Amino acid sequence: MSTNPAPTALRRSLGLWAIVGLGLGYMTPMTVFDTFGIVTGETNGVVPSAYLFALVAMVFTAVSYGRMTRVFPSAGSAYTYASETIHPNVGFLVGWSSLLDYLLLPLVNALIVRLYLESFFPQVPGWIWVVGYVAAITAMNLFSMSSTSKVNGILVAFQIVLIGVFVALTWAALNGGAGTGTAFSLTPLFHAGVNIFAVIGGATVVCFSFIGFDAITMYTEEAKDARTVPKAIVLALMIGGAIFFVAAWFAQSRFPTLAGFHFTDDTLPEIALKTGGLFFQILFISAAVAAAVASSLASHASVSRMIYVMARNGNGRISRTLSFVHPKFRTPAVAVLLVGAVSLLAAAFTLEFVSSMINFGALIAFTMVNATVIIHFAIRKRQVHGAKQIIRNIVLPGIGMLLTGVLWANLHFDALTYGLIWLAIGIVTLLVLTRAFRKRLGVKLDEDGDAAIITREGAPSEAVR
């Protein structure tokens, strides 16, 4: 195999802040207002505490992602780490679990847009908005429309500016006696009637807001410097976490309870209206819709690509169908349409349920990334000499495993039930692919470094053109 770069290799053009911006775009800062009502009810009014718990858990995981990205600089995915450090079969199941959250991310964006438009046009059935929106996003992906880091940066900046305006308006309202009457009260963090289990329950909902910092690993092949990605992972998480926490703090201070809210499944429209009137509500929802559109395009394209590369080297009619490339548009057309079909379920599901479902796969991936650090550095490389190595290679990833494991164990019953069903389907699929473990699976990247390919050992692997 030639060591020369393939003609289609990705250009290393992304600097540190461009990658951080892409991570924040995936995280969608406006989401804090969408789930505010759900988490307020879940935690009895301490949304900032839920974000703080989730952020702490994610920090340890972000460090683990950064370390494993250095070990496998062209394979920025949890399933690749698990395959290389544990076993390809384990990697496949981690990848299968991750596929659940990637597949549902476009659905979440469609659901959020449906809720926005329902708040403005309550007389129009929600399914109409879902069908129209999903059709538009699917068509744009089918015709190979993609966003750039500059456009993403503008959308992220738009969100942050409006969140800043929200904070300023809320500060003035608090000083005028609204809500808790002050921005410095500890009531949003803790008060009578709150317990740790309620906070953890809320954290299982809000941790889906942090999904995106791990997607930064997919830009490894486009980073100007190999050291950029690990730094960007931590920076995106910390900046995003700070935005979530501050926004949640002021929202909870201004609205200690849900009294006066008519629609608690998505409180963003009413929060905006109560904070700054109709004009501010229009601006706020415009920013939220723009963020959802950008996230929809990116997540739809990403999961379509993942389905395509996982199916491309498989055998049988299903694999050939899912790996079909449109001869004119040069896009994985069937995979794109499949994701669009799944996204239509946004007409029936609630935001709370789907966000919990997403967390099932994500938290499994996060837990396994922490585990791979221990296995790779502490067990395989035996870097356990001295307190520093023990802390870095065992204690820190161990804490990350514990915290993400606690979040996973506290998912809603329905999310656990359907997530386990999905995992069971993955196990059956693995048995079929491996012929009851008589064949070995391998996980490799294509030459572009875009995504993992699940292949039978010894099968030829071609780059995606």
Domain-wise residue ranges, the chain: 16-434
DSSP 51: H
Which position has the higher pLDDT, 75 or 298?
298
CA distance 287 to 158: 6
Cα separations in angstroms, 103 against 38, 140, 340, 415, 436 = 22, 17, 10, 15, 27
CA distance 447 to 6: 7
Q: In the prediction, which pLDDT does 230 show?
A: 83
Kindly indicate the confidence band of residue 451, based on its pLDDT and cuts at 50, 70 and 90: very low
CA distance 239 to 411: 26
Contact 38, 247 (CB under 8 A): no
User: 14 CB contacts (<8 Å, ≥6 apart)?
Assistant: 22, 149, 219, 222, 223, 224, 228
CA distance 191 to 464: 55
Contact 256, 37 (CB under 8 A): no
Q: In the prediction, which pLDDT does 46 show?
A: 94
Q: In the prediction, which pLDDT does 145 show?
A: 44
Please name the residue ranges forming H helices in 121-227: 126-142, 149-175, 196-206
CA distance 25 to 105: 13
Region 65-79 average pLDDT: 74
What φ, ψ does residue 87 adopt, rounded to 5°?
Answer: -170, 145
Structure tokens of 73?
């600089």
- For the ranges 200-214, 288-302, 433-447, the lowest mean pLDDT is seen at 433-447
DSSP 9: P
- For the ranges 120-129, 183-192, 263-272, 304-313, the lowest mean pLDDT is seen at 304-313
Kindly indicate the confidence band of residue 143, based on its pLDDT and cuts at 50, 70 and 90: confident
- Residue 313 in this model has a pLDDT that exceeds 60: no
DSSP 6: P
What percentage of residues in the chain have a pLDDT greater than 90?
29
Which position has the higher pLDDT, 446 or 272?
272
User: 421 CB contacts (<8 Å, ≥6 apart)?
Assistant: none
DSSP 223: B
- Residue 223 in this model has a pLDDT that exceeds 80: no
Kindly indicate the confidence band of residue 215, based on its pLDDT and cuts at 50, 70 and 90: low
Q: In the prediction, which pLDDT does 7 show?
A: 34
Q: In the prediction, which pLDDT does 9 show?
A: 37
Region 33-53 average pLDDT: 92
Question: By C-alpha distance, which of 100, 103, 104 is closest to 363?
Answer: 100
CA distance 190 to 216: 33
Contact 318, 61 (CB under 8 A): no
CA distance 261 to 307: 40
N-terminal to C-terminal alpha carbon distance within the chain: 17
| Strand duo 441-445 + 452-456: pairing | antiparallel
- For the ranges 183-192, 276-285, 447-456, the lowest mean pLDDT is seen at 447-456
- State the helix-helix crossing angle for 47-71 and 351-373, rounded to 10 degrees: 40
Q: In the prediction, which pLDDT does 55 show?
A: 93
Contact 394, 381 (CB under 8 A): no
Region 317-325 average pLDDT: 75
Contact 353, 321 (CB under 8 A): no
Structure tokens of 168?
């300023």
- Residue 326 in this model has a pLDDT that exceeds 80: no
Q: In the prediction, which pLDDT does 135 show?
A: 93
pTM of the model: 0.78
CA distance 62 to 55: 10
Write down the CATH number for the domain with range 16-434.
1.20.1740.10
Q: In the prediction, which pLDDT does 320 show?
A: 76
Question: By C-alpha distance, which of 32, 218, 7 is closest to 112?
Answer: 32
In the block, tokens 């750039």 appear at 148
Q: In the prediction, which pLDDT does 446 show?
A: 43
Q: In the prediction, which pLDDT does 192 show?
A: 84
Contact 233, 77 (CB under 8 A): no
Question: By C-alpha distance, which of 94, 73, 103 is closest to 441?
Answer: 94
The predicted-structure confidence for 249-292, as pLDDT tens digits, reads as follows 999 999 999 988 888 878 998 999 999 999 999 999 888 888 88
Amino acid identity at 432: V
CA distance 417 to 101: 15
User: 149 CB contacts (<8 Å, ≥6 apart)?
Assistant: 14, 18, 19, 21, 22
Region 357-367 average pLDDT: 83
Which position has the higher pLDDT, 290 or 339?
339
- Residue 110 in this model has a pLDDT that exceeds 80: yes
Rounded to the nearest integer, the mean pLDDT of the chain is: 81
Which position has the higher pLDDT, 266 or 385?
385
Give me the sign of the Cα torsion angle 135, 136, 139, 141.
negative
Amino acid identity at 231: K
The predicted-structure confidence for 160-170, as pLDDT tens digits, reads as follows 999 999 999 99
Greatest mean pLDDT range, 113-117, 193-197, 388-392: 388-392
Instruction: State the greatest distance between any 2 C-alpha atoms of the chain, in Å, as a whole number.
Output: 71
CA distance 203 to 187: 18
Kindly indicate the confidence band of residue 13, based on its pLDDT and cuts at 50, 70 and 90: low
